Amino acid sequence: MEMMRFRQKQHYPWLHRFAVLTATAAIGLIVAGAAVTSTGSGDAVPDWPLSYGSLAPPMIGGILFEHTHRLVAGFTGILIAILAGWLWIAKPGRTVQRLGLAALAAVILQASLGGLRVLLVSTDSVQEAALQIAGFFTVQSLRMAVAVTHALVAQTILCLLFAIVVLTSPSRRGAAAVSFPFPARQNVFRLSVFFTGLIFLQLILGALVRHSGAGLAIPDFPLSFGKIIPPFADLPHDPAAPFPVSPEKFQFQVAIQFAHRAMAVLVLGLAVFFFARHRKAGRIGRLAKIMLLLTSIQVVLGALNIWTGKSVYVTVLHVAVGALLLSCSVAAIIASRNTSQGENAPREPFARARAYLELTKPRLTLLVLFSALTGYCLGASGNINLLNLAGALFGIGLASAGALALNQYAERVYDARMIRTQKRPLPQGRLRPVEALAFGTALCIVSVLFLTLYINILTGFLVSLTILTYLFAYTPLKRISYFNTAVGAVSGALPIVCGWTAARNALAPEALALFGILFFWQFPHFLSIALLYREDYRRAGYKMLPLRENGIPRTNRQILFACAALLGVSLFPALMGLAGKMYLAAALLAGGAFLGCGISLALYRNNLFARRLMFASFVYPLIVWSLMIYDKVKM
């Protein structure tokens, strides 16, 4: 007998209707934006936020499209502000309230990006400042990046509004968690999330195609220059064309256009798969049918784009249907929350997401990112390239998260024996070991490939070395040798060097000094933890220094030696010219206080002073690295 569980929620019919109105206005905004790009009217108005200094300029030529886009944007922004306020007053639920605030923040960002794209050409001061901050060399490249981001924020706003529409709809008042009649329903949430991510990636490629002028780079369809894969080594580049481009840019345009086509095949295949598996699943089935229909229409419109030479009507409709497809996939994610079996099923997808997040040890990963940020800032010469920095942190963050997940996979049996680690996802059974293995492996592979291809080969090599040292040297040594802390200190100190090489693409003595600071810092940090949890480590069978014969005195001596060495090594950045006097003073004070904590522990030998040392080990790098970055920026 099928069981159903109802959750009674207060419904606000007029709030829901207003959310529908706001979402409709957002669709109109995307259509208006597509009309601007399709007609080449983006530069028709040189000032912002007014148009030729007026709210009512002459509506002729490109001004008609650009100013209409601004009016629709202003109207939509007002509606979103009202909706966010209404949600905050009505309090239909924390999730919906946060979605409203997120939509309001996104629309403010959207307006700022739209204005920035205009002012990059019309205002020299804005242009110079933006080029310096973003690290671009040409205004055209920066404008394309801003325009693509502008388009993606618009899609994000629409997704947020569709989520609000679904969550405030009358059907949510008595939402039932109904069991599907087939086993495949258990994966509907993950499939919906993956489908949404794939569509969003496709929209990124589509925005790049539009704003890089690659819409007709491949003139035929479904083939590409008469072949399945474009002949990249022998593209028919015509330097005598009316608007010639360089061979390199033409190759980029062809690559982006072909990637967009290939991704369309993947999206269509996934839409067919989604429909085949869930077409009989109530609301999910209806959404699957709509998404398959919209995907099929998108493929036809993509073909018509080529066959009609980018007709304005076709390109605008192509963008609008893509936005609707993304919104429907978001609705499928929300609807799929009620498709899992069991009393706690509606929360299960989010519980699994939290479990995956716990695998990455977020606090430790943030510490790794902070050290990489320090290395990058100190290694950068001149202005910092923010895009390159973001890419480096993204790749290093993925590597850290993946390595920590694989570490928990390798130690899952031992974690179950320790009180300190019993509540991790694998010991509690919230994730299967194979899921943690696949998750961690995927993150590590993607991080190394991304850093190698996008940043530089040296950084990719160092990150791969860090992962291998951490997983295949430090992790097994914890059960074999008391020397494991020294090996772990090597892998833990490499991220700051990775940040340095990401900025400079070369090693230097200064990078070795940064490595030394992080290397010696880890001994008091990890040994204080080992002292506090030595009985836990004994139960798990780990070889930690406090568990040796005369282990406590040995541990204290090693902590004192490491603190003293850290105090000396921390002076090198100032002596080498990496940091100034403020950092030097902070290094002396913080290092002296850290050493004082180590001395107190050696004298009194109790958990209170071990805990103080552990706390000091968290504070020390935050002070030292912050002052390093500050002195570097000031210099």
What are the φ/ψ torsions at residue 175 (nearest 5 degrees)? -60, 135
At 34-84, the pLDDT tens digits run 888 888 887 788 888 888 888 888 888 888 888 888 898 899 999 999 999
pLDDT the model gives residue 178: 39
123 three-class SS: coil
pLDDT the model gives residue 48: 80
Question: What residue type is 337 in one-letter code?
Answer: R
196 neighbors 326 (Cβ within 8 angstroms): yes
203 neighbors 322 (Cβ within 8 angstroms): yes
> Of 61, 41, 52, which is closest to residue 117 (Cα–Cα)?
41
pLDDT the model gives residue 47: 81
Sign, CA torsion 93/28/211/295: positive
224 three-class SS: strand
336 neighbors 350 (Cβ within 8 angstroms): no
At 128-145, the pLDDT tens digits run 776 666 655 577 777 778
**Angle at which helices 509-532 and 581-604 pack, to 10 degrees?**
30
Q: Collect all residues with Cβ–Cβ distance below 8 Å to 82 and sequence separation of at least 6.
A: 18
pLDDT the model gives residue 550: 82
- What stretch of H or E contains 500? helix 484-504
pLDDT the model gives residue 172: 56
What are the φ/ψ torsions at residue 45 (nearest 5 degrees)? -120, 120
CA–CA distance, 274 with 187 (Å, rounded to integer) = 10
pLDDT the model gives residue 356: 92
Tokens of 190: 């993950």
Tokens of 213: 């002028």
At 309-340, the pLDDT tens digits run 888 888 889 888 988 898 888 888 887 765 44
CA–CA distance, 424 with 38 (Å, rounded to integer) = 52
CA–CA distance, 297 with 323 (Å, rounded to integer) = 13
pLDDT the model gives residue 241: 53
Query: How far, in Å, are 547, 589, 609 from residue 528 at the CA level?
Result: 13, 21, 9
Nearest-Å Rg of the Cα atoms of the chain is: 28
Query: How far, in Å, are 123, 279, 384, 394, 561 from residue 132 at the CA level?
Result: 15, 52, 8, 21, 44
CA–CA distance, 531 with 534 (Å, rounded to integer) = 5
pLDDT the model gives residue 171: 63
What are the φ/ψ torsions at residue 48 (nearest 5 degrees)? -160, 140
CA–CA distance, 425 with 474 (Å, rounded to integer) = 22
pLDDT the model gives residue 394: 94
158 three-class SS: helix
pLDDT the model gives residue 344: 39
pLDDT the model gives residue 176: 42
433 neighbors 412 (Cβ within 8 angstroms): yes
How far from chain centre, in Å, is Cα 486? Answer: 32
> Of 397, 409, 408, which is closest to residue 365 (Cα–Cα)?
397
248 three-class SS: helix
Sign, CA torsion 509/515/517/520: negative
Question: What residue type is 396 in one-letter code?
Answer: I
CA–CA distance, 308 with 510 (Å, rounded to integer) = 59
pLDDT the model gives residue 239: 60
433 three-class SS: helix
Question: Low-confidence residues of the chain, pLDDT below 70?
Answer: 1-11, 122, 130-137, 171-187, 237-245, 337-350, 633-635
Q: Collect all residues with Cβ–Cβ distance below 8 Å to 234 and sequence separation of at least 6.
A: none
CA–CA distance, 539 with 262 (Å, rounded to integer) = 53
Locate all alpha helices (DSSP H) within 91-171, ordered by sequence: 94-122, 124-134, 139-167
CA–CA distance, 499 with 371 (Å, rounded to integer) = 8
Q: Which long-range contacts (CB under 8 A, 24 or more apart) does 479-487 make?
A: 479/414, 479/541, 479/542, 479/543, 480/543, 481/543, 482/543, 482/544, 482/545, 482/548, 484/543, 484/544, 485/522, 485/523, 485/526, 485/527, 485/530, 485/544, 485/545, 486/523
pLDDT the model gives residue 361: 93
615 neighbors 361 (Cβ within 8 angstroms): no
CA–CA distance, 452 with 391 (Å, rounded to integer) = 11
Q: How many CA atoms lie within 13 A of 609 on its CB side?
A: 15
| Strand pairing class (6-8; 174-176) | antiparallel
pLDDT the model gives residue 280: 77
> Of 227, 264, 230, which is closest to residue 250 (Cα–Cα)?
230
Query: How far, in Å, are 156, 198, 232, 246, 294 from residue 270 at the CA level?
Result: 21, 9, 28, 36, 13
Total count of residues recorded for the chain: 635
